[in-house]
Amino acid sequence: MDWPKENAGAGSIFDLRPKEPVIAKASISVECSCSDIFRYLGDGFFENYPKWSPEVVELEQLTEGPVKLGTIARQVRIDRGRRTETKFTINSYERDKRLEFTGVDDPFRCTYELEEIEPGKSAKLTFIFELTEIQIFMRPFEKLIREVVREGAERMVKNLKRLAEADKKL
C-alpha cells in the first residue's frame, strides 16, 4: 500500500528522516586569564566538572594519567529527573584555548572555547552543546529538548564564570 506523501513529510509523526541537530551556544566574559580558566576547566576537569554541571552525579576517569587528548570517562547525569549514563572521549585539548569531548556511543559533543579579551586579565568563555541526533521516541519532545539544552548552556557558562573567578582568588 502506498501512503499519501502528505502523511510522511517533514513535521509528520511518521517522518523518520534525521532531524536537525540540537545546538546550544552560550558565551560569557570571565575576569580571569585563559590560562587560569583552562587550569580549572581542563587540568581540573575531573575534580571540577560536577561543580559547574551539578547534573553530573557520578564521574569516573577510565584512562590513567592527566587529562589529555584521548582521555575516556564515564558520567551519570540526572537531568530533570531523567538518569543517563554515558562514556565520552576528550577529542580536543588545546591548552588555554579549547576543550572538547564527544559521546562514545551517544550522539553528543561539548565544546569549551577560550578567547583573550584583555591578555592576562579577562577572557571570553564559549560553551557549545550539540546533540547530533534525537532518538525517534524523543522527537515529540524536540521543542522542549531544545529549550532545556539552551537553558543548560546559559547556566553552565554562568557557573563556570563564578567558579573560575573564585578559584583564581584562592
The per-residue pLDDT for range 70-98, each reduced to its tens digit, is 999 999 999 878 899 999 999 999 999 99
The yes-or-no verdict on residue 3 having pLDDT over 60 is no
1 assigned to some structural domain: no
64 assigned to some structural domain: yes
- Residues 100-114 have a mean pLDDT of 95
Cα(164)–Cα(137) distance, integer angstroms: 38
10 assigned to some structural domain: no
13 assigned to some structural domain: no
- Bridging pattern class, strands 108-118 and 82-94: unpaired
- Residue 60 burial (10 A CB sphere; 0-12, 13-18, 19+): exposed
**Strand locations in the chain, DSSP E?**
22-30, 56-61, 72-79, 82-94, 98-103, 108-118, 122-131
Element (H, E) at 143: helix 142-169
Task: Quote the cell numbers at residue 92.
Answer: 580536543
Q: Can you give the pLDDT at residue 76? A: 97
Q: Can you give the pLDDT at residue 34? A: 97
One-letter identity of residue 95:
R
CATH for 151: 3.30.530.20
5 assigned to some structural domain: no
**Domain limits for position 144:** 19-169
**Which residue blocks in 53-141 are alpha helix, DSSP H?**
none
Q: Say if pTM beats, i.e. exceeds, 0.85.
A: no
The structural domain count of the chain equals: 1
74 assigned to some structural domain: yes
Cα(40)–Cα(43) distance, integer angstroms: 6
139 assigned to some structural domain: yes
12 assigned to some structural domain: no
Q: How confident is the model at residue 6 (pLDDT cuts 50, 70, 90)?
A: very low
107 in Cβ contact with 149 (< 8 Å): no
- Residues 132-158 have a mean pLDDT of 80
Averaged pLDDT score across all residues of the chain: 87
Q: Can you give the pLDDT at residue 14? A: 54
115 in Cβ contact with 126 (< 8 Å): yes
Element (H, E) at 62: none
Nearest Cα to Cα of residue 23 among 124, 138, 105, 111: 111
